Amino acid sequence: MALFSRLCRNAMPSFPAPIVSRLPHVGTTIFTVMSKLAQECGAINLSQGFPDFNAEDALFERVAHWMRAGHNQYAPMTGMPALRQAIADKIAALYGTAYDVDAEVTVTAGATQALFTAVTACVRPGDEVIVFEPVYDAYGPAIELAGGTIVPIRLSAPDYRPDWNAMAAAIGPRTRMIMINSPHNPTATVWTAEDMERLAALTRGTGIVVLSDEVYEHIVFDGVAHQSCARHPELAVRSIIVSSFGKTYHVTGWKVGYVVAPRELMAEFRKVHQFNVFSVNTPVQLALADYMADAGRHLALAGFYQEKRDFFRNALAGSRFELLPSAGTYFQLVRYGRISDQGDADFCQWLTREVGVAAIPVSAFFADGRDEGVIRFCFAKNEATLTAACERLCKV
């Protein structure tokens, strides 16, 4: 006991050699920073993108059912067959492309893992990867760790539309991958069928892989159809498509997603997936397969979130914030120039501490910290939460 007491009093010694970081410029993600600050300040957290409401009890009941039925050991590496079949059926119904359940569908531990695995599987040292900025902050580190070079294409406020001339100029002999995200986080913009045609034309006759982040595929507003790469035959044959059950069914903490891709790309994806994840929560997979049998649950999502978007925008209509368009996702960008001339990161800190509402500075989505005076709110919240937040924001 005396020896244990002495050991407990001794500080942990430093690592005995210098550490050469693989990500020397990467700190703690802005989502963690702002959520932590919101908690410390007792602020309403409209920063990180997660709901403050539950999924239906029916989904939880199916998880409990499969747990009690003894399905608590490893799932197959590729995912439970029932869930892979449900995914393939959904995609065929929505986008008209038939993916082979055994060779072209894989269940993942969330979308971020899927994106990282896809980059690791496809990108080699010296390869170039085109991304659109502002860009979700997981893309860059994945590319850098694979030894790739990031080639950014800038999307500018207020419309954040892709510049196809800039894209054409960026494509070169070392371009290995183009990462796209529609509906787009953080800008809430949605690519059109014409955008997909332009992408197809630019990649035609090349070996470029398209990594399509479609986690908000069911959250597209105003009657607009989501333009999945699976909907476009020419893109489907070169695309790794990623989606998320967490976003679709309000269970972001479950970290379950999926990937579909042509078998040649999927074979490479699975070579990495089997070693960085191997398999995903078995009873949750079986529950999701059951839950997907009612297509209305994902088809109703656009209307569900459009009501929240409209409620939030109407509640902020009398404020000094300038609301930018929100065509998809559950995010709303605003300009705050009529309130403050602070940089967006400082403004978000002030808003959290002094007003009691947390948001995300959009400069965090640019590698160079480009600051256009725009911040992001998440409206995936109960109406009571949104009402309380907007009451505070309208007083600013």
- 132-147 pLDDT, tens per residue? 999 999 999 999 999 9
314 shares its domain with 267: no
Q: Is residue 62 part of a domain?
A: yes
Same domain? For 116 and 201 the reply is: yes
Tens-place pLDDT, residues 20-46: 889 888 888 898 999 999 999 999 999
- Whether 246 is in a domain gets the answer yes
254-283 mean pLDDT: 97
| Same domain for 338 and 192 | no
Domain boundary among 264, 293, 322: 293
Give the domain-ending residue among 293, 314, 335.
293
Helical (H) or strand (E) element with 133: strand 128-133
Percent of the chain with pLDDT over 70: 97
- Residue 314 has a pLDDT of 98
The CATH number of whichever domain residue 344 belongs to comes to: 3.90.1150.10
Q: Per residue in 349-374, pLDDT tens? A: 999 999 999 999 999 999 999 999 99
Beta-carbon count within 10 A of 300 CB: 12
Mean pLDDT of 116-124: 98
Determine the average pLDDT of the residues in 153-177. 95
Q: Are 364 and 345 in contact (CB under 8 A)?
A: yes
- The answer on 205 and 143 residing in a single domain is yes
Number of other CB atoms surrounding residue 346 within 10 Å? 12
Residues 284 and 342 in one domain: no
Residue 18 lies in a domain: no
- The DSSP annotation for 86-99 comes to HHHHHHHHHH----
pLDDT of res. 9: 58
Residue 10 lies in a domain: no
Q: What are phi and psi of 225, to 5 degrees?
A: -85, 140
Do 278 and 132 fall into the same domain? yes
Look at residue 5 in the predicted model and tell me its pLDDT: 47
With respect to residue 89, please indicate whether it lies within any of the assigned structural domains.
yes
* Rounded Cα–Cα distance for residues 328 and 161 (Å): 14
Tally the residues of the chain.
396
Task: Please write the tens of the pLDDT for every residue from 91-104.
Answer: 999 999 999 999 99
Which pLDDT score, from 0 to 100, does residue 3 have?
45
Q: Angle at CA 310, nearest 5°, toward 309 and 316?
A: 90
Percent of the chain with pLDDT over 90: 91
List C-alpha distances in Å: 165 to 149, 168, 370.
Answer: 20, 5, 21
Shared domain for 265 and 128, answered yes or no, is yes
Q: Is residue 19 part of a domain?
A: no
Span 203-218, average pLDDT? 98
Alpha-carbon distance of 350 to 355, in angstroms, equals 7
Q: What is the pLDDT of residue 225?
A: 97
For the full predicted model, state whether its pTM sits above 0.85. yes
**Are residue 69 and residue 194 in the same domain, yes or no?**
yes
179 and 322 in a common domain: no
Q: What token pair was written down for 198?
A: 């332009």
**Residue 163 confidence (pLDDT) above 70:** yes
Find all residues with CB under 8 Å of 389, minimum gap 6, and list them.
Answer: 44, 46, 357, 377, 381
Q: What is the pLDDT of residues 52-95, one digit of tens each?
A: 999 999 999 999 999 999 999 999 999 999 999 999 999 999 99
Q: Of the candidates 96, 91, 86, 99, which has an alpha carbon nearest to the alpha carbon of residue 293? A: 86
**Looking at the predicted structure, is the pLDDT value of residue 377 above 90?**
yes
Query: Residue 354: which domain range?
Result: 27-49+299-393
Query: Does one domain contain both 245 and 168?
Result: yes
Co-location of 198 and 305 in the same domain:
no
Whole-number mean pLDDT of the chain?
A: 95
Summarised one tens digit per residue, pLDDT across range 317-352 is 999 999 999 999 999 999 999 999 999 999 999 999
Q: Is residue 5 part of a domain?
A: no
Among residues 269, 293, 317, the one where a domain terminates is 293
- List the strands of the sheet with 322-323, edge to edge: 322-323, 331-335, 374-378, 360-361
**DSSP symbol at 30:** H
Looking at the structure, tell me whether residues 126 and 40 fall in a common domain. no
| 16 falls within a domain | no
CATH code at position 165: 3.40.640.10
Whether the per-residue pLDDT at 6 is higher than 50: the answer is no
Q: For 217-228, write each residue's pLDDT tens digit.
A: 999 999 999 999
Q: Which helix H or strand E contains 284, and what residues bound it?
A: helix 282-291
What DSSP assignment string belongs to 346-366?
A: HHHHHIIIIISEE-EEGGGGS
Residues 177/121, Cβ–Cβ less than 8 Å:
no
- The Cα 217–Cα 185 span in angstroms is 12
pLDDT of residue 7: 43
For the chain, the domain total comes to 2
